[in-house]
Amino acid sequence: MINFAICYDDQKMLDCVSDMLRTYYTGECEIKTYADGAGLLSDYNRNCFDVLFLDIDTPVLSGMEIAEKIREFDRRVKIIFISKKNELAYKGYLYNAFRFVRKSNLEQDLCEAVKSLNESFSLQREYLVFKTSRGETIRAVEDIKYFESKTHFINAVCNNEVIRIYGTLREFEERIGNNGFIRIHKSYLVNFRCIHFVEKKSCFCRAAKSCL
Question: Which pTM was predicted?
Answer: 0.60
Looking at 79-83, 108-112, 145-149, 168-172, which range is the least confident one? 168-172
Whether residue 44 sits in one domain with residue 119: yes
100-136 pLDDT, tens digit per residue, is: 898 888 889 988 988 888 777 765 567 778 888 888 8
Residues 47 and 152 in one domain: no
Q: Which pLDDT score, from 0 to 100, does residue 99 have?
A: 87
Structural domains counted in the chain = 2
| pLDDT of 60 | 77
Residue that finishes a domain, picked among 91, 123, 155: 123
Which of 97, 123, 149 lies at the terminal end of a domain, its last residue?
123
pLDDT level of residue 81 (50, 70, 90 thresholds): very high
Give strand ranges (E) for 8-158: 29-34, 51-55, 78-83, 99-102, 127-132, 135-140, 144-149, 154-158
The CB-side HSE value for 26 (13 A sphere, CA atoms) comes to 1
Q: What's 27's domain CATH number? A: 3.40.50.2300
Task: Report the pLDDT averaged over residues 78-106.
Answer: 81
Compare 206 and 108 and report the one with higher pLDDT. 108
User: CA angle, 54 as apex, 11 and 96 as ends, to 5°?
Assistant: 165
Point out which residues pair with 193 in neighbouring strands.
Answer: none
Same domain, 138 and 113: no
Over residues 165-179, the pLDDT tens digits come to: 887 888 877 777 656
Judged against a pLDDT cut of 90, whether residue 192 lies above it is answered with no
Q: What pLDDT shows up at residue 128?
A: 78
Q: Are strands 181-185 and 2-7 parallel, antiparallel or unpaired?
A: unpaired
Secondary structure (3-state) at 67: helix
pLDDT of residue 161: 87
Alpha carbon distance, N-terminus to C-terminus of the chain: 24
Q: State the CATH number of the domain containing residue 144.
A: 2.40.50.1020
With CA atoms as reference, report the closest residue to 51 among 105, 101, 90, 106.
Answer: 101
39 shares its domain with 92: yes
Q: Residue 182 above 70 pLDDT?
A: yes
pLDDT confidence tier of residue 196, bands split at 50, 70 and 90: low
Domain that holds residue 199: 127-211
**Are 81 and 177 in the same domain?**
no
Report the C-alpha gap between 207 and 159 in whole angstroms: 7
If pLDDT is split at 50, 70 and 90, which confidence band does 210 have? Answer: low
Q: Are residues 37 and 83 in the same domain?
A: yes
Between the ranges 15-29, 111-125, 175-189, where is the mean pLDDT highest?
Answer: 15-29
Q: Among the three residues 72, 88, 123, which one is the final residue of a domain in this structure? A: 123
Q: Mean per-residue pLDDT for 21-40?
A: 86
195-198 sheet: strands from edge to edge: 195-198, 203-205, 210-211
